[in-house]
């Protein structure tokens, strides 16, 4: 295998951002949980979002593909402003893969079916074409021989890798991960992180909400620390995790490291 190229080569700062978020606010009832988020993500960039439970990380991620509707502010994904009510959100969502803490696989369908349904229904691929693409992606996550299994016959780590293969089978231009390893037994975390690391090395643009500080340190181009609905600080991992400026970041890291 070819050694991975240095990551910097993949971050294309000259091209327009894949994600551009401006003064994003989100309230649930009277409670504002995102209090003015500004965040741009460049092509090929890997942004890890860290922060305490309840700080708004999932809500931020869900606003990117409009699983939550912003209260105000703008979110632009791949050049399309998704916060514009007239926009065809399905066209944008097709290009954005999302992987959740709970794998959300279709439990009554095989691994291969899980990885082909959306390809066939949304992208109108033929069965043969969809299956070939699914098999390639299953092989890339180390599950080439599990296509006929049901999700319940797999470990949590294998199920999460199926969820990643399923998302990749749609040829996404952006991948969103929301604590993809938090529901896993510790011994199963490594395989999932390793798949994500390879994806990052191959140039995928990724926003990853995670508590895995070693992963963030090694794989992130940028770490964003959120607290109480705001970005408190952001920068390269060696800065935000290695030498945080803010007391809130330091106290969070003391708790998780």
Query: Which tokens go with 168?
Result: 């990749």
Binding pattern for the stretch 27-66 against ligand ADP, x by CB under 6 A and - elsewhere: -x----x-----------------x-xxxxxxx-------
**Of these partners, Mg ion, ligand ADP, none, which one is at the site of residue 28 (CB under 5 to 8 Å by kind)?**
ligand ADP
CA distance 35 to 228: 8
Q: Which of 55, 58, 66, 234 contacts Mg ion by CB under 5 A?
A: 58
The option from ligand ADP, Mg ion, none interacting with 55 (CB < 5 to 8 A, set by class) reads ligand ADP
Return the closest-CA partner of residue 197 out of 220, 173, 167, 163: 220
User: In the bound complex, what is the minimum distance in angstroms from residue 122's beta carbon to ligand ADP?
Assistant: 26
Cα–Cα distance, 239 to 245 (Å, whole number) = 8
148, with CB counted inside 10 A (0-12, 13-18, 19+), is exposed
Q: Which is nearer to ligand ADP, 120 or 211 (CB)?
A: 211
Q: Tell me the closest approach of the beta carbon of residue 68 to ligand ADP, in angstroms.
A: 7
Distance (Å, rounded) from C-alpha 36 to C-alpha 230? 7
Q: Which of 183, 201, 21, 169 is nearest to 102 (CA)?
A: 183
Q: How far is the CB of 145 from Mg ion (least distance, A)?
A: 33
Nearest to 240 by CA among 230, 203, 252, 229: 252
Q: Of 57 and 161, which CB lies nearer to ligand ADP in the complex structure?
A: 57
Burial call 202-237: b when 16+ CB within 10 Å, e when fewer: ebbbbbbbbebbebbbebbbbbbbbbebebbbbbeb
* Binding flag, residue 181, Mg ion (CB under 5 A): no
Shorter beta-carbon distance to Mg ion: residue 25 or 211: 211
Residues in contact with Mg ion by the rule CB under 5 A: 57-58
Residues in contact with ligand ADP by the rule CB under 6 A: 28, 33, 51, 53-59
């Amino acid at each position: 295998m070819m050694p991975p190229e240095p990551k910097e080569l993949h971050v294309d700062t000259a091209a327009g951002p894949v994600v551009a978020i401006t003064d994003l606010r989100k309230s649930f009832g009277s409670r504002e949980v995102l209090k003015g988020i500004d965040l741009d993500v460049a092509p090929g960039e890997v942004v890890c979002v860290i922060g305490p439970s309840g700080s708004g990380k999932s809500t931020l991620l869900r606003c990117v593909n409009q699983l939550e509707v912003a209260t105000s502010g703008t979110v632009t994904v791949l050049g399309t402003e998704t916060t514009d009510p007239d926009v065809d959100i399905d066209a944008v969502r097709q290009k954005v893969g999302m992987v959740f803490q709970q794998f959300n696989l279709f439990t009554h369908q095989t691994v291969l079916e899980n990885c082909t349904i959306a390809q066939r229904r949304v992208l109108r691929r033929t069965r043969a074409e969809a299956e070939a693409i699914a098999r390639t992606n299953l092989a890339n996550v180390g599950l080439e021989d599990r296509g006929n299994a049901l999700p319940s016959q797999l470990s949590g780590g294998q199920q999460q890798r199926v969820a990643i293969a399923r998302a990749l089978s749609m040829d996404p231009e952006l991948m969103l991960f929301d604590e993809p390893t938090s529901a896993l037994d510790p011994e199963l975390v490594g395989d999932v992180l390793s798949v994500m690391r390879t994806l990052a090395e191959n140039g995928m643009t990724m926003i990853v909400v995670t508590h895995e500080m070693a992963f963030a340190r090694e794989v992130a181009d940028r770490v964003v620390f959120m607290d109480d609905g705001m970005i408190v600080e952001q920068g390269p991992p060696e800065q935000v995790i290695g030498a945080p400026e803010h007391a809130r970041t330091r106290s969070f890291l003391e708790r998780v490291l």
